[in-house]
Structures are given as C-alpha cells and as structure tokens.
Amino acid sequence: MRARRREIPWFPGVVLATLVFTAVFAAYLAPHSPTEGDITQKLIPPIWMEQGDSDHPLGTDRFGRDVLSRIIYGSRISLIVSLIAIGVAGTVGTLLGLIAGYRGGVTDAVLMRLTDVGLSLPTILIAVVLVAVSEPSFRNVILVIALLLWPRFARQVRGETLAIKEQDFVALAVVAGRSSAWIISRHIFPNVVPTLLVISTLQVGYVILLEGTLSFLGVGVPPPSPAWGLMIADGRGFLATAWWISFLPGLAMVLTVLAVNLMGDWLRDHLDPKLRQLGRAAVLEAPAAASVGPTVDEAPVRGAPAGGGGG
Amino acid sequence: MRESAPLLVVEDLKTHFFTRRGVTKAVDGVSFTLHAGETLALVGESGSGKSVTCLSLVRLVPEPAGRIVGGRVLLEGEDLLQKSSAEMRRVRGKKIAMVLQDPLTSLNPALTIGTQVSEVVRLHQGLRGTPLRERVLEALRRLRIPAADTRLRNYSHQFSGGMRQRVSSAIALSCAPRLLIADEPTTALDVTIQAQYLELLKEVQASAGVAVILVTHDFGIVAAIADRVAVMYAGRIVEMGSTLQVFDNPSHPYTRALLRCLPDVGLKREQLVEIGGQPPDLARLPQGCPFAPRCPERQPICDETYPPTVPVASGHVASCWAVPGAKARA
C-alpha cells in the first residue's frame, strides 16, 4: 500500500521531467535559434491553424523568431533562475534561521525583525526599484529574487530549530561538550532538511512566477533572452491577431508552476513519517506561503488566458 | 567514612528561577558528597528540585530565568561553577555524562546509531577507521545490544524503548565519564525492561568505577541499585543516608510518608496511601519547615524556623525538629 502511494504522481512527474529534459537538451531540441528570427517569417500561426508552417510548429513572433524554440530555451532560464535563487536564498535563510532559533535572545530578536522587514517588502515594487537602479541582467534578477525569498526560509527554519533544540539529544550533546556550531550543523540541520526540501519545492513555483512577472515588466531577464515572461510581454500588442505569442509561453508557465506545486504537496505528504513529526509545523504553514505567489504575481498568467480568448 | 577524597562535593548549592511571580527557589541549599563508584539516589515528589539539582551540576539550568545563585560544586577538587564556558565544555564531555528519561528524544532521529556513538568516541579518544569501529562496537556490546555490527546502520526509531535507552547509555558511558547523571532513566521503560536495564547499569558502573547520581521517585529502584539516598523536599535535602539506614530507620516524617505510599502486595486490598495536601509553592515558601503544613508530627517551632540538619547515625542525617537532638543544636 505504502510502496504504491510513494510513487511520484504522473502529472507533475511528466511535466517536470519534460521541463528538465528540454532545459538540459535545449540546444538539440530547438529547431531554430531562440534569439534570431527571419523577419520575412514573422507572425506565422501554429501548425494547426490555416497558414501554419511545419517549419515553425508553434508559430513565430513579430520578429520571425520560432516560438517553440523560445519556449524550450525559456525553460532553461526559468529553471536556472529558480535553482540559483532558491539555492542562495535557502542557504542564507537557513543559516540565519538556525542561528536565530538556536541562540535565541537578542540574536533571535534582531534576526527575526530583519526577517519581518524582509517579508513586508512590497515584492514587485522592490524588484522594480532594485533592477531600475542597477542594470537589468540575469544576475540581478537572481539577486532580487533571493533577497525577497530568504526570509521565508529563515522564519520556517527558525521555528523548526526552536522545536528541535528542546529535544533531549541536543541537551545531551551540550553535556557531551559539543560546541554550538557542531550541534547546529550535526544535530539540528539534518532534522531541518525535510522541511527545507518541502519549502524549496514550493518556492520553485513562486520564483518562476516572480521571474515571469519581472521579465514581463521589463525589469527581469533582459531581451532578447527567451524568458517566458518576456515572451508574454512581447506578444501583448498582438493578442487579437497573434495570440500564440503570449498564450503558449503562458501555458508553459502555468503547467510548470502547477506541476511544481503538486510535487511540493506530494513531497510534503510523503517524506519519511518519522521525520515528518518534526516537520509538522512546516506542513501546516507551507501551503499558505505558496499561495502568496499566485495571488501576488498573477499578471503574466492572467495575460495568457486572455490571449487565448482573443484567438 | 571512606579515606579517599570524594569525587564530587556539592556545597550549599542554590539555583533560583526569577519569574514574574517572584523568585522560585528550586534548589535551596543542597549539599552532598559522592565517591567514585558510588550510587546516590535523589528521591522526592515532582518539583522537589531533583532534576534542577542535576542540571545545575552540569550548568545547564535553563537561562535566563534560572540562575545558580550560590554554592560550590567541586568535581575532583575543581569548582565547576567558577569555570568559563569553554572549560566547562571540556569537563562535561570528559568527566560528566547524562542519561535522560525519554530515550526517544535522547537520540537524534536523523542520524544512525553508529554515527552518534562514533562521534562521541572520536571526540574523546581521537580514533579513526577500524579502531574507531571496534571501540563503538565494544561500547554497544557492553550494554548487550544484540547484533551490534548490523545495527550500527539503524536509526533510533528502529529500536525498541529499552534498546534506545541502552544505546543512549552506551553513548553516555563510551567516553568513560567519572560521573553519570541518570535522570529517571527507567521511567519510560516497561517494568521487565527496567530491572534488566538497571542490572546492566549496575554492572557497567561497577566495572568502570563511575559514580552515579540517580534521580527517581521509585523506591523500588532505589532499593535495587542505590548505595545512598537523599530525599528532597522543596529544594532541600531533608534526609540523607545509606539506603539501608533510610529504609530501616526513616527519620524525617516526609521520608516515612513516602515509604508508606508504596503499595504493599502482602497486605490485602489495602487502600493506597497518599500524603495529604500539596507540595509547597516554591515562590512562596513558609518561614519555617516547608513540610510543616502536611506533617503529622508538626510542632509549634516547625512554623517558625527551618530545622537544623542533625545526625541520626553515622552517615545518616535528617532535617527535622522531631529528630532527637535537633532542638539542642538549634
């Protein structure tokens, strides 16, 4: 019974496997260059429509760039941005959360107020300001997202740490003459890992949406990169005539975020039950955190179905 | 008494908790000595200060509310309360080890048993590779953990309660401490496992010459393994002596009351005996003897002054006005 239930659910599994596959092998899979188009081939509709061209299965945009190729390369951007941003934010947040939770007192108060400030930053506004001050670049997008993301990790990990440090094995490690650094890294951190996995997964969807939003607003990955958000923005003016330019990358984004969130839910439910006892707090709070993403950053997603209606 | 210098001397230890309601005197002037290889049982009701006494010895009183406000704790002649936290860390690891009540939370659920035992051994003996593994296996075998070599890779949830307690004891004893503090080590175990565990503990203790402070409220355990008993009430030791002395001639009314509370199978359907009243509020201790309100042998003087500690026999003391000679000493 349990063995069967532990299998990865098919829908998110397939979508994510496809995503990773296309991201890794983008150069082999994409039929055309993602950034260079033939202006004479512009605004060709997808293959199933009249005037469709088998050379461009999902059509072309206003510069004659192949939409399929751009979506394929776009998956690479989404994936890399979310992996690095979550890696950076997760590392910083976990470290601060562990220290705050374990030390307590003034350290905890200062770090948690800092976290509160971080959580109350108006996401999009800060992103726009930060990127406007510097140049829009791949690196800056990642930094901005990481900056907005670390408090989520810090707060969650601190909560976990508070619970774990009350366990006897921590007291015994103190009696055994262990240093705080040792106790944090050897005794507390391994017990936080399951929670960390769950929050990280749930953040992937949020980051993809945030990156899309930033790119859509023109403060994300700079053009002509084939970021999904950029593509949606690109096709904004053509929703009535060439809806596929916005709709298809939007669809890719929706599917990806949906799959990632489903995967996160599944992961949350199926982590080792022994470890899950300690992760109970995370289980209760993580969905709330995840739901913030879609509501705040729905602009590009909403743009996509609207484009579909236009066609 | 013995000629050799005692391993542990606790003098007038005072640990108070500073709360909004006032100062709670959890430990209020506890003194005792302990020799190598000896087992001292601390008994008393919940909240009598047994556990806080133990935590004070290793300076793990929960801060900032709790503070050791006075006294001396001499381990092999060195005052632990004067040490810096770095020095204290070395002492804790090398000389003092602890076993706690709940064997489930005593072990880290995310690490294998083998990892947890070898970390302690490696820290204290600097071994690596095969010798390390040998020492780890030896530590586990000493506590009769069957198939130790295959169980090294298991996690704590794969062990039964009794086994877990053995593993945590193996960890505690693997660094060859001089003093083992066992805070209700058998409370979470089945009765059958309890006896087995205590027997094992006694055996290991005898072979390694470790001194043990055993916190319990079970007189059966006291009788089974303790050399001496200290009965605590309201943060003080009210009676202390060898196990035989205390059982044969309990001199403090509280000790007598505790011993009466033990159900006796021999007598038919006897009602369970209880001690009337409540343990005192440690933040508002009465001026005199804190047991006076519940004491069947209460005298006028009990409400006025705390009784002196008077010898009942050689090595047997009690703090009660009813003990002959108490008034002469006051």
Show the 3-state SS of A167-214: CHHHHHHHHCCCCHHHHHHHHHHHHHHHHHHHHHHHHHHHHHHHHHHH
Q: At what angle do helices A189-216 and A299-310 cross, to 10 degrees?
A: 50
The number of distinct structural domains making up chain A is 1
3-state secondary structure of B167: helix
Q: Is residue B326 part of a domain?
A: no
Q: Average the pLDDT over each of A49-53, A261-265, B211-215, B218-222 and give the range with the smallest value.
A: A49-53
Nearest CB to B105; choose among A168, A177, A178: A168
Where is pLDDT greater, at A298 or B46?
B46
**What pLDDT is stored for residue A285 in this prediction?**
40
Tell me, yes or no, whether A7 lies in a domain.
no
Residue B319 has pLDDT above 60, yes or no: yes
Tell me whether residue B281 is in a domain. Answer: no
pLDDT of residue B268: 59
* pTM for this prediction: 0.75
Looking at the domain assignment, is residue A124 inside a domain?
yes
* B106 contacts A169? CB cut-off 8 A: yes
- Is B153 within the bounds of a domain? no
- Whether chain B has a CB inside 8 Å of the CB on A174: the answer is yes
Neighbours of A295 (CB within 10 A): 7
pLDDT tens digits along B176-200 = 888 999 988 888 777 877 888 888 8
pLDDT of residue A52: 74
Tell me what pLDDT residue B134 has: 86
- Give the pLDDT of residue A3: 45
CB < 8 Å to B60, chain A: 171, 174-175
* Structural domain includes residue A289: yes
Contact B94, B179 (CB under 8 A): no
Of A199-203, B81-85, B264-268, B324-328, the poorest mean pLDDT is in B264-268
Q: Could you say which residues from 183 to 202 on chain A have a Cβ atom under 8 Å away from some Cβ of chain B?
A: 186-187, 190-191, 193
pLDDT tens-digit series, residues B52-88: 999 898 888 887 788 899 888 998 888 888 888 888 8
CA distance A111 to chain B (A): 19
Between the alpha carbon of residue B114 and those of residues B145, B153, B323, the distances in Å are 12, 6, 53
The H or E element that residue B8 is part of is: strand B8-19
Predicted local confidence at residue A116, as pLDDT:
92
How many separate domains does chain B show? Answer: 1
Q: How far is Cα A293 from Cα A209, in angstroms, rounded to an integer?
A: 7
Q: Please check whether residue B149 lies inside any domain of the structure.
A: no
CATH number of the domain residue A92 falls in? 1.10.3720.10
User: B13: domain range?
Assistant: 8-105+178-276
Work out the end-to-end distance of chain A between its first and last CA atoms, rounded to an integer number of angstroms: 46
Q: What is the structure's pLDDT at B45?
A: 84
Residue-wise pLDDT tens digits, B105-149: 888 888 888 888 888 888 777 777 888 888 888 888 888 888 888
* pLDDT (0 to 100) of residue B228: 93
Q: How many CB pairs under 8 A join A and B?
A: 64
| Regions of chain A where pLDDT drops below 50 | 1-4, 273-311
- Mutation target vs B (from A106, A169, A174; most B CBs, 10 A cutoff): A169
Q: How many whole angstroms from its chain centre is CA B158?
A: 28
The pLDDT of residue B265 is 61
Domain carrying residue A58: 16-310
Question: pLDDT tens digit string along B19-30?
Answer: 888 888 889 889
Q: Specify if A26 maps to a domain.
A: yes
Q: Assign B208 a pLDDT band (cuts: 50, 70, 90).
A: confident
Which of A2-11, B149-158, B273-282, B297-306 comes out lowest in average pLDDT? Answer: A2-11
In this predicted complex, what is the ipTM?
A: 0.76
* Better-scored residue on pLDDT, B270 or B293: B293
In a domain, B194, yes or no: yes
